[in-house]
Structure 1
């Protein structure tokens, strides 16, 4: 199978032909049709890995702190070896995709189901996905739109953290991919929305998605917010930027009304000025990815769900909500797609997001061959994991020595019905 990976020591990105993955307990094997490049997240990951050791240290001071603590515990040489070993590794890229189930050992999915996947949804022809990170996709939702599932869930969780009510005024800082999805979800929720960005490239699209006002992120934007909210300030401000600058936070505090809410979905400087924060008694929250369950191995890997009555919106339920909104036509991801790049040419996507190629983009999809993977149409796998014994009816082509010695006896032993045999 083809997969896009990055070598952590040098940052080199490559497309490798790797062995097919195996079905693990509690999940499904999915043949990807599309996977989405998350420009902000993946650009940061790529640039960090491609930096020198000193550059990596500057970008990740949190990891430097861990290294220094490890030196105190284990010594310099042992720590150096541990760091080098960590860097001598390959990292999977990508976390949002859609495709077809090939194998399943969980009741929720069966082979042939159309699914959207998050978290383990790498840029790969085949992926293994635990059941809580996949949702079914109805026939009226195209798989290229369904591949935006993780981005949709991230935007939705940010809105949930903002505790939005019908008719509220909301400012979205950053009109990139997540910002444009956030605008759509806010309008579907009956909000009045101001969108702002340092670049007006996506302003027309934001308006098309229902944004009531758009403005450049400059000194004039404060006046725009004041006029729009009749001098009260915004009920909520959602930051979907990808920057180390502290300006989005500083301006968000100015935009917000007294006792307003600020939610950080993207990346921004976190040096919070005390005066405005104190005077307005603001609530500032960082939204964690797709929602409750994210980064919890009990939920994500073991499939242990949170009780519905106590955690209404888990990451899986957020994903299901996005698919439902797509199915009902209340949001649209089709207009976000600017590129579809075959997996064989996948490195071109990274040239785009790292600005090696100067070309405007929003949603970049990696596209995969939609022909069924022949190596997965295997009798043994289907009998063992996909269905119960006795439920499989097989048409068999090619009854040579190998088939007579190994395959047909195995089928007979497992009580499979041989409907037709062609030789």
Structure 2
């Protein structure tokens, strides 16, 4: 291995300071959370700023995760530069899937994969009760608030009905149960890597896309992609942005309209994905799009909104009820004054240490800046107090897309830092949601 790979620090002093600032933020969030707990003012996350439990452990996925990380660090950058484009897309998706599965299996098959989505708080708990989809949509809003007749479980109540419908659909085609649901979320979440590469290339920079590929594979947020519905949301969001970008770049009214459909559909998976409007606008600005072409995106999005509203679910009314339900639960006890900045520490762990020098150069990457701005707005809203390392996956996964902004001779160091972050978090914290 080249001596260059053995250096202890990145060469840029400014990047070292950015890394130190992020490490300090994480350490401060952890220390403050612990002190507040000891003082009788708990932040209600025992591994703060992460949601889970501090529990060093290993499992069957440990050697596999280490092997994937070493292989990507050693050969990933070179292969990404040389293989044909379609091969790169398939290989990146496959490698990201392997990385995510390996990390999930650190917790074992039952706890890390098959049983992850079968808790009483998850979507699968409600799937057997959905025997009439139109009736479910018409009555969805009436079951959001806690204390009412037959309220939805936590995750179902906290999201629009599209998320539940995804798992109902999976069950209806014969892929019911926790194992299939987990596999679905992992594969869909890993798909975000390929969709992001397509987006970056469509914006006119295939070289940047190839540079980003290994960083997208070793995305530390894969710890939470496997296996959570938010991994599915990340894949869906990335796919929608990719469709829009390709449609605007060719141009193709059909692809633009499909992108509009995808963006609106994402808002019915998670209320927070309405913030996809920011990166979508960034794409429009970068491509200097003619406004007439955007009409197709608006029509596609409007079709989804109209259909869901006519079927009985009004998004804006559901969101107003969710704000009430959110503060009926643990959120009312989680101090905003702590989480409004500690959330950023959790986000930093999800995005990985390479995000710090990338964001330092964000002015040269409008799309990445838009995703960071979306996370910041979600943070300030007060609707995300803790668990953002999972909830903000659709935002965090885009930060490695700008890995080309990193100095070339430092990239492998940052890639290794990304992998080490994921491995440490997954082996020291038993994640939960």
Bigger strand fraction: 1
> Which protein shows a greater Rg?
1
TM over 0.5: same fold? no
The answer to which structure, 1 or 2, has the higher relative contact order (CA under 8 A, 6+ apart) is 2
Bigger helix fraction: 2
Scaled by the length of structure 1, the TM-score of the pair is 0.27
Scaled by the length of structure 2, the TM-score of the pair is 0.26
